[in-house]
Amino acid sequence: MKFPMNVLEVFRTNLPTRITRVTKVIAWATLVSNIAIILTGGAVRLTASGLGCPEWPRCTPDSWVATQEMGLHGAIEFGNRLLTYVLVLICALMFFALLRLRRSHRSLFRMSLIILAGIPLQAVIGGITVWTNLNPWIVALHFLLSAALVMVSTMLLNRIRLELRAAREAGQESRHDSRQDSPAAPGAQLQGVAGVRMSHGASDAVTSAMAPVILVATWVSVFLGTVVTGTGPHAGDPGSPRHLFDPDLVTRMHVVPVYVLCFAAIALLVRQYRISTAPNQRRSAWSLMIVIIAQGVIGYVQHFTGLPVILVGLHMLGSALLVVTATAVFDSYRARYVTRGLGGDEAVAPALSTQSASGQSASTQAS
Ligand code: HEM
């Protein structure tokens, strides 16, 4: 028993105790891989390979893997199952990158835990999708949970970037101060800064109201989009059940929250130039606007051209990017997260502590 315990201890003591650029790279990989699995899942459905492996967790009653006789559909479905392991690996790296920061950066650690726990949950729901012959409600749930993991991954990445940016800016400032013999000079870039609020730019009643409206309208659009898909022709297998809704009616219903989203995004864009918003707020609002326009154009073109698979795939990518940008808008206008510095409790030196412009305390455990 002693040997494995030692191995675990060596492993634990070698885990990072601070947020670095590597943490940011892993957070990017977590976000990109969670978007990528939406696309590969879409490819399974759009190539009618949904039942390429007709069993779960085995591929067939006799085999854990796809065999040659199962053809291209089997290879595509099984390939998507294999990608789950790549995703688990990346999300496990994210979890371990934050494990020793779990007390100092509790909300970040929890996000990495949610993402890691979400992957096996998605594998099980993927299995239920197969068992129910690709029931459109279960397919929708599978998509929505992946979109939720994309949202949490975006939040995590935004917070890690903020910690690093705050440290960088403090480092630049302290280097400037050091030329004037300030004692605060060394260490700011290394230790980071506590107390910088995520939504630190200007905000007023309009922008504060529009940020949550944008997030809610995005999620309602995404949910109703999955209902349109469940009614449409791309079931994932020719024999799978479909919703019995009127396709035109559900498409019109899907577009209602899209219009709400457009109006809210325009209101935010116009309003932000009348108050002195921060660069990240303006960037997030413009990125959102660009994605909405692209997604709207793809949506209408696919609707009027008989739903070609390429456009449907692009519309799925657009949905994931919309979740990313709507989350970024919410983060930059409403999030209460305040930086805690780069080092965890187990890091050697304590983080420098400053007060944010908003006066929030560094110890606040806000998300
Ligand atoms: C900009 C906001 C929009 C969002 C967030 C959005 C989101 C979605 C989502 C998540 C799906 C389901 C994807 C899947 O499971 O395959 C979907 C499907 C669909 N959307 Fe949108 N959509 C938007 C705009 C539009 C617009 C403006 C139209 C125009 C009519 C449109 C038409 C459709 C159609 C026809 C489908 C069904 C595709 C199929 O049968 O596979 N969407 N949308």
What is the DSSP annotation of 52-75?
Answer: SS-SSSSSBTTBSS--GGGHHHHH
Q: Which atom of ligand 1 is nearest to the CA of 139?
A: 15
- Could you tell me the distance, in angstroms and rounded to a whole number, from the CA of residue 250 to the centre of ligand 1? 10
Question: What are the structure tokens assigned to 365, written together?
Answer: 């455990």
Q: Which atom of ligand 1 is nearest to the CA of 218?
A: 5
Element (H, E) at 204: none
Identify which of 329, 324, 296, 323 has the alpha carbon closest to the alpha carbon of residue 223: 323
Identify which of 63, 237, 219, 209 has the alpha carbon closest to the alpha carbon of residue 144: 219
Give me the residues of the chain with pLDDT under 70, please: 1-3, 174-188, 345-367
- Could you tell me the distance, in angstroms and rounded to a whole number, from the CA of residue 251 to the centre of ligand 1? 8
Residues 254 and 323 in one domain: yes
pLDDT for the residue 361: 37
Question: Cα separation of 195 and 164, whole Å?
Answer: 13
pLDDT for the residue 347: 61
Residues 159 and 214 in one domain: no
Residues 26 and 66 in one domain: yes
Identify which of 197, 222, 223, 199 has the alpha carbon closest to the alpha carbon of residue 211: 199
Question: Cα separation of 269 and 289, whole Å?
Answer: 8
Q: Does residue 226's CB lie within 6 angstroms of at least one atom of ligand 1?
A: yes
Asked if residue 273 is part of any domain, the answer here is yes
Q: Does residue 234's CB lie within 6 angstroms of at least one atom of ligand 1?
A: yes
Residues 203 and 174 in one domain: no
Asked if residue 351 is part of any domain, the answer here is no
pLDDT for the residue 327: 98
Residues 19 and 153 in one domain: yes
Contacts of 83 (CB under 8 A, 6+ apart): 36, 37, 40
Domain stops at, among 153, 187, 221:
187
Asked if residue 343 is part of any domain, the answer here is no
Residue whose entry in the numeric block shows the structure tokens 């502590």? 353
Over the range 254-288, which residues count as b (16 or more CB within 10 Å of their CB) and which as e? bbebbebbbebbebbbebbeeeebbebbeebbebb
Q: Does residue 159's CB lie within 6 angstroms of at least one atom of ligand 1?
A: no
Three-state DSSP class for residue 306: coil
288 neighbors 329 (Cβ within 8 angstroms): yes
Contacts of 92 (CB under 8 A, 6+ apart): 116
Question: Cα separation of 354 and 200, whole Å?
Answer: 14
Q: Does residue 312's CB lie within 6 angstroms of at least one atom of ligand 1?
A: yes
pLDDT for the residue 253: 98
CA atoms within 13 A on the CB side of 73: 15
Domain stops at, among 147, 165, 187:
187
Residue 180 DSSP class: T
88 neighbors 34 (Cβ within 8 angstroms): no
pLDDT for the residue 3: 62
Mutate to test the pocket of ligand 1, among 228, 243, 253, 266 (most ligand atoms within 8 A of CB): 228
Residues 203 and 100 in one domain: no
Asked if residue 15 is part of any domain, the answer here is yes
Residues 178 and 251 in one domain: no
- Could you tell me the distance, in angstroms and rounded to a whole number, from the CA of residue 253 to the centre of ligand 1? 11
pLDDT for the residue 151: 98
Identify which of 50, 29, 269, 33 has the alpha carbon closest to the alpha carbon of residue 139: 50
pLDDT for the residue 127: 96
Residues 163 and 138 in one domain: yes
DSSP state string for 73-139: HHHHHHHHHHHHHHHHHHHHHHHHHHHTTTTTTHHHHHHHHHHHHHHHHHHHHHHHHHHTTS-HHHH
Phi–psi pair at 77, nearest 5 degrees? -65, -45
pLDDT for the residue 181: 53
Residue whose entry in the numeric block shows the structure tokens 């509790």? 106
Q: Which atom of ligand 1 is nearest to the CA of 296?
A: 27
268 neighbors 329 (Cβ within 8 angstroms): yes
**Structural domain total, the chain:** 2
Question: What are the structure tokens assigned to 324, written together?
Answer: 């990313």
Residues 181 and 253 in one domain: no
Asked if residue 353 is part of any domain, the answer here is no
Identify which of 103, 100, 104 has the alpha carbon closest to the alpha carbon of residue 14: 100
Residues 237 and 182 in one domain: no
Residues 29 and 138 in one domain: yes
Residues 286 and 165 in one domain: no
Asked if residue 344 is part of any domain, the answer here is no
Give 343's strand partners: 18
pLDDT for the residue 367: 43
Question: Cα separation of 55 and 53, whole Å?
Answer: 6
Asked if residue 31 is part of any domain, the answer here is yes
Q: In what order do the strands lie in the sheet containing 338-340?
A: 338-340, 193-197, 352-353
* Residue with CA at minimum distance from ligand 1 atom 39: 229
Residue 230 structural domain: 199-334
Question: Cα separation of 330 and 319, whole Å?
Answer: 16
* Residue with CA at minimum distance from ligand 1 atom 38: 229
Question: Cα separation of 359 and 197, whole Å?
Answer: 9
pLDDT for the residue 162: 97
pLDDT for the residue 4: 73
Q: Which atom of ligand 1 is nearest to the CA of 230?
A: 40
Asked if residue 366 is part of any domain, the answer here is no
pLDDT for the residue 40: 97
Q: Does residue 339's CB lie within 6 angstroms of at least one atom of ligand 1?
A: no
Mutate to test the pocket of ligand 1, among 315, 316, 322, 327 (most ligand atoms within 8 A of CB): 315
pLDDT for the residue 189: 72
